[in-house]
């Protein structure tokens, strides 16, 4: 993902207060799961609003330019917007899957090794399914295989 897209995604889900654990609180308590549910729902809502803005923009800006260069520029702009919305559509699907994990009490543990992913990592990447160690290993393997 290009840096500006990463920055845009991280800006979309800012505006929440970092979770403050209480002494002796169990990992992924009801209160903690509610915190992540709120973050994910807010992020999803913002993505859906962006989709609506794109649809309205494309409807409002669609024109049949007589100049082929102008038409090509508009088509390229629309193509870039549609690609960005497709990435966001996939992200919305991943958010929905994550919300289901929360509902099923399966959220917050690494899919690979089973340890706690960690609150701060999940706040930074709410859809994370791997702890930082397993994610790092996966990235190293990916580089070695050239995938």
78 with 52, same domain? Answer: yes
Residue 10 lies in a domain: no
94 annotated ligand-binding residue: no
53 with 118, same domain? Answer: no
Q: What tens digit of pLDDT does each residue of 69-93 get?
A: 877 888 888 888 888 888 999 999 9
In the chain, which stretches have pLDDT less than 50? 1-12
- Distance between CA atoms of residues 26 and 122, nearest Å: 16
55 with 88, same domain? Answer: yes
pTM tops 0.85, yes or no: no
87 with 141, same domain? Answer: no
112-130 burial, b for 16+ CB within 10 Å, e for fewer? eeeeebebebbbebbbbbb
- Distance between CA atoms of residues 36 and 110, nearest Å: 16
134 annotated ligand-binding residue: yes
Domains held by the chain: number: 2
Q: Give the pLDDT of residue 147.
A: 60
43 annotated ligand-binding residue: no
102 with 125, same domain? Answer: no
Listed residue (124, 138, 114) closest to 27, CA to CA: 114
Separation of CA 72 from chain center: 31
131 annotated ligand-binding residue: yes
77 with 40, same domain? Answer: yes
């Amino acid at each position: 993902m290009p840096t500006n897209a990463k920055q845009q995604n991280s800006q979309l889900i800012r505006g929440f207060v970092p979770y403050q654990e209480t002494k002796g609180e169990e990992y992924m308590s009801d209160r903690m799961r509610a915190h992540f549910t709120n973050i994910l729902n807010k992020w999803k809502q913002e993505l859906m609003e962006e989709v609506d803005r794109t649809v309205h923009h494309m409807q409002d800006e669609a024109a049949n330019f007589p100049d082929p260069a102008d038409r090509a520029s508009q088509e390229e702009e629309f193509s870039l917007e549609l690609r960005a919305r497709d990435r966001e559509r996939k992200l919305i699907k991943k958010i929905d899957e994550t919300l289901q994990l929360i509902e099923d009490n399966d959220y917050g543990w690494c899919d690979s090794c089973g340890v706690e992913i960690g609150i701060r990592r999940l706040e930074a990447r709410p859809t994370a399914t791997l702890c930082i160690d397993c994610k790092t290993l996966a990235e190293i393997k990916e580089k070695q295989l050239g995938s």
